[in-house]
Amino acid sequence: MLGGIIGDICGSIYEWRNRKTENPDEIDLVNPKCRFTDDSVLTVAVADACLGERDYRSALKDWGTRYLDAGYGGSFRQWLVREDADAYNSWGNGSAMRVGPVGWAFDTLEETLDEARRSAEVTHNHPEGVKGAQAVAAAIFLARSGRSKAEIGDYIKKSCAYDLDRSLNEIRPDYEFDVSCQGSVPEALIAFFESRDYAHAIRLAISIGGDSDTIACITGSVAEAFYREIPAELGAMAWNRVTHEMRLLIHAFLEKYTLPSASVFTHGD
């Protein structure tokens, strides 16, 4: 969960000025201009729902309307401000970027998949929107359960029919901004599969261009679960970028589900 928020913050400055490079180690992850976006806000909202205090719809509405300028897509923003708004059949990657907490909060893969579906369907009830959320939540669950990258990849390929056999070097030259689940979730997962540690995963995600904050958010959420270690400077940066009420909710989630990366998130104001 924290890994996704950090990925969003690190990727925020690259969303509209992509940094395509075959040398990802050149990418700066700690930049004064980095900020949280809608990806972080909605990840916190899903975490709030996972804590059991409210359903996904009310949590997304509540947190989303607190931060109306966070950078939502047009359809989601309309859903936020209309009290009677229904799901709008979206296949966008918003369902996948916010689902990270679900991967930590449930005890079985079956529960995780069901909750990922429920978290997506309040807005993203298109089959691709649901599948994107389930793919990311499943990858997190399998990673935190000690599965290898090969095992995670095999499961996602079989259950979601995503093409994960491409390399980032093959993807990068022609990759364009794509907000669909089917056009960004596989790429985010491939960045994780090619990575050597958490920070490297985030740099790889940013290095292909496209919807950089969301791709890095998705990659980061899986990388956190797999590597179980996040550089302290990235945790400190996240602490300094999010708001006090977001910190409180994040702490509650980290404490309830005992995420191994919790120690990097600075305590106190």
Quickly state the pLDDT bin for 269 (edges 50, 70, 90): very low
- In the prediction, which pLDDT does 203 show? 98
Residue 131 vs residues 82, 123, 157, 202, 262: alpha-carbon distances, Å: 26, 13, 12, 22, 28
Its pTM stands at 0.96
Sign of CA dihedral 194, 197, 198, 199: negative
| pLDDT tens-digit series, residues 144-167 | 999 999 999 999 999 999 999 999
Q: Give me the CATH number covering residue 6.
A: 1.10.4080.10
Number of domains in the chain: 1
84 falls within a domain: yes
| Residue from 48, 46, 97 nearest 252 by CA | 48
| Residue from 48, 32, 33, 36 nearest 8 by CA | 36
- In the prediction, which pLDDT does 258 show? 76
Quickly state the pLDDT bin for 266 (edges 50, 70, 90): low
52 falls within a domain: yes
Quickly state the pLDDT bin for 174 (edges 50, 70, 90): very high
| DSSP state, residue 25 | G
138 falls within a domain: yes
251 falls within a domain: yes
| pLDDT tens-digit series, residues 10-66 | 999 999 999 999 999 999 999 999 999 999 999 999 999 999 878 999 999 999 999
Which three-class secondary structure state does DSSP give residue 6? helix
103 falls within a domain: yes
Boundaries of domain holding 187: 2-264
269 falls within a domain: no
- In whole angstroms, give the CA distance from residue 146 to residue 238: 26
